[in-house]
């Protein structure tokens, strides 16, 4: 459940990595988003391909941006092969945040061999703000209905890693 933007792809070259980082930093600054660049010598990334789990173990580098306090962080974390697979939940932020994230993905798309975006708000495919708002409203309505049906359910919750969980059952 949720309105989440999923994306994955491989950059064309290491030069494109540096161009993508520069574009993303500029975009963040223009929109007053916090961000930081990072590099890890070793990291385990849990990934899914063709509905099967596959893990990456090794060095990573990238950029983490925080579009809004009510959205997941937008993480552009690349492995040694310059491959990224990530997601960003936006449903608790204003729809304008979702639109900005899609706009950034459109700006960096040319630097990928193939950037695949699955947008649960359908904005990537349609650029239809009304459809996006309908998805967000429907999701929030379902969450409220579930909380009414089960008094032990509450949410949303922000996890320590900055990601959101829609609902959790109270002990």
Q: In terms of domains, do 88 and 163 share one? A: no
DSSP states along 62-127:
EEEEE--TTS--EEEEE-TTSEEEEEEE-TTS-HHHHHHHHHHHHHHGGGEEEEEEEETT-HHHH-
The tokens of 151 are what? Answer: 């008094």
Give CA–CA dist 41/54, Å, rounded: 19
CB 37 within 8 A of CB 21: yes
Q: In terms of domains, do 87 and 148 share one? A: no
Q: In terms of domains, do 69 and 122 share one? A: yes
**What is the residue whose two structure tokens read 């204003």?**
94
pLDDT per position as a tens digit, 148-158: 999 888 888 89
Q: In terms of domains, do 110 and 150 share one? A: no
Reported residue count of the chain is 171
What pTM, to 2 d.p., does this model score?
0.93
Q: In terms of domains, do 105 and 148 share one? A: no
pLDDT at 167: 86
Q: In terms of domains, do 150 and 93 share one? A: no
Q: Does the pLDDT at position 170 exceed 80? A: no
CB 153 within 8 A of CB 167: yes
Q: In terms of domains, do 148 and 122 share one? A: no
Question: Which of 108, 126, 144 corresponds to the end of one domain?
Answer: 126
Q: In terms of domains, do 106 and 77 share one? A: yes
CB 21 within 8 A of CB 107: no
Number of structural domains the chain divides into: 2
Q: In terms of domains, do 21 and 104 share one? A: yes
Q: In terms of domains, do 54 and 111 share one? A: yes
Q: In terms of domains, do 100 and 142 share one? A: no
Q: Does the pLDDT at position 171 exceed 70? A: no
pLDDT at 66: 98
Range of the domain at 161: 129-169
Q: In terms of domains, do 151 and 70 share one? A: no
CB < 8 Å & 24+ apart, contacts of 11-18: 11/78, 11/82, 11/83, 11/84, 11/111, 11/112, 11/113, 12/111, 12/112, 12/113, 13/82, 14/82, 16/82, 16/111, 16/112, 17/61, 17/78, 17/82, 17/111
pLDDT per position as a tens digit, 12-68: 999 999 999 999 999 999 999 999 999 999 999 989 887 889 899 999 999 999 999
């Amino acid at each position: 459940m949720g309105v989440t933007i999923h994306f994955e792809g491989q950059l064309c070259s290491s030069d494109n990595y540096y161009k993508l980082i520069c574009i993303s930093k500029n975009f963040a600054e223009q929109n007053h988003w916090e961000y930081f660049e990072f590099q890890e010598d070793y990291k385990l990334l849990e990934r899914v391909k063709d509905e099967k789990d596959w893990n990456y173990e090794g060095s990573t580098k990238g950029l983490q941006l925080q579009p809004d306090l009510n959205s997941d962080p937008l993480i552009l974390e690349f492995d040694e092969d310059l491959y990224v697979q990530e997601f960003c939940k936006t449903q608790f932020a204003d729809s304008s945040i979702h639109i900005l994230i899609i706009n950034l993905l459109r700006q960096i798309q040319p630097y990928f061999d193939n950037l695949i975006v699955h947008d649960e708000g359908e904005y990537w495919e349609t650029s239809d703000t009304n459809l996006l708002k309908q998805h967000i409203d429907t999701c929030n309505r379902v969450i409220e209905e579930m909380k009414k049906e089960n008094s032990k359910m509450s949410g949303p919750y922000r996890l320590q890693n900055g990601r959101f969980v829609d609902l959790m059952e109270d002990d």
